Amino acid sequence: MPHDLITQRLDQGPLICAEGFLFELERRGYLSAGEFVPEVALLRPDALEALHRDFQHAGSDIVQAFTYNGHREKMRVIGKEDLLEPLNRAALKIARKVANEKPGNLMAGNISNSNVWDPEDPASQESVRAMFDEMVQWAVEEGADFIIAETFYYAGEAEAALEAIKAKGLPAVVTLAPMAENRMIDGPGIVETCVALEQQGASVVGLNCFRGPDTMLPWIQQVR
C-alpha cells in the first residue's frame, strides 16, 4: 500500500467521509427522481455548499465533491454534455472552499460507475477510460487531495478508474457495489477484486451502496 496523504491520516485514526448528497438534496427539494445528474452545483450552489457544511458540522473529516453521475455519459443522456466541465469544476470548487474552512479537513474528488462499461467491448472500455481521465484531471486542477472512485459492479471498470487516478498522481479510494451474487458481474470474487485493487496501488478499498449492513459487513471483515 502506498504511504500517501490518506494513509498517513488513517495511520493516526479513523476518518469519516459523509456521502448521500444525491438523496439528501432530493429530500430537500433540489433534485428530482430521474437521471440524478448533480446539476445542483450549477443551479443552486448555495444549497450544495450548505449541505457540505451540514455534513462537516456532523463530523465529516472529508468534503467530497458532488460529481457522482456527473460524467460524460450521464450528461449525454439528458442532452447537456456542454455543461460537463462547468458542472465538475463548480462542484470541486465548492468542496475545496468548504474543506479549507476547517483545519484538517481533506477534499476528495469523485468518479463513479459509468453504466456503459462492457467487458467484451474494447471501444466501450476506452470511452469509459476517457471519461475517468477528464474528471480526474479536473479534480487535480481544482485541488483535490485524493479521489474516491465508487459504486463499481465490474472489476474491470474499478481497475480502469484506479489506473486513471494513479496516472495523475493522486491517492485512490475505490469501493465496489456487488449486486445479488457474491462476485463482480464480470466474474472475479469480491475479496479477490479488493486484493487486486490494493496490489495495483489503491490506498483504500471497500464496499458501498448496493448492499445493506447485514450483507456488506461480512465481506468487509474478509477484506480486512
Give kind and range of the element (H or E) at residue 152: strand 146-152
Number of structural domains found in the chain: 1
Cell (9 digits) for 91: 462542484
pLDDT for 173? 98
pLDDT for 2? 45
The cell 459504486 sits on which residue? 151
Judge whether 87 and 67 are in contact, CB under 8 Å: yes
- Tell me the residue range of the domain where 100 lies: 5-223
pLDDT for 180? 81
State the pLDDT confidence band at 33, using cuts at 50, 70 and 90. Answer: low
Residue 50 Cα to chain centre, angstroms: 20
Q: Which tens digit of pLDDT belongs to each residue from 99-150?
A: 999 999 999 999 999 999 999 999 999 999 999 999 999 999 999 999 999 9
CATH number of domain containing 17: 3.20.20.330
Task: Tell me the whole-structure pTM to 2 decimals.
Answer: 0.94
Q: Which tens digit of pLDDT belongs to each residue from 68-110?
A: 989 999 899 889 999 999 999 999 999 999 999 999 999 999 9
pLDDT for 179? 86
Q: Which tens digit of pLDDT belongs to each residue from 185-208?
A: 999 999 999 999 999 999 999 998
The cell 472489476 sits on which residue? 155
Contacts of 224 (CB under 8 A, 6+ apart): none
